Amino acid sequence: MLSAQPRSVSSLAREFRLSRGDVEDDLRHLIRSARAAGHAIVIEPARCKACGFVFGEENLSKPSKCPHCRQSRILEPQISIAP
């Protein structure tokens, strides 16, 4: 699924009918396994819609507020696996 198009934790959780926390834990394990198998992991970090602030790649979940402008309009990180 992640090799076809980038996906967010929320979209995967909705599709599998799981909690975001469970999907995030499983996704971290999947990323480690994929890297060990030689696949390239592409993580587009979360970004603030209001000011454009880019969060770090280490967070797979959506932050609640932007530390720069304090807005809550945040785009979720997108994760994909390149072959």
CA gap 16, 6 in Å, rounded: 16
- pLDDT (tens place) for every residue of the chain, 83 residues total: 777 889 999 999 999 999 998 999 999 999 999 999 999 999 999 999 999 999 998 888 889 999 999 999 999 999 998 86
Would you kindly state where each structural domain of the chain is located, as residue ranges?
9-82
Q: What residue type is 36 in one-letter code?
A: A
* 3-state SS class at 10: helix
Check: CB of residue 74 under 8 Å from CB of residue 63. Answer: yes
- Supply the pTM of this predicted model: 0.83
Give the position of tokens 């993580």. 43
Give the model's pLDDT for residue 48: 96
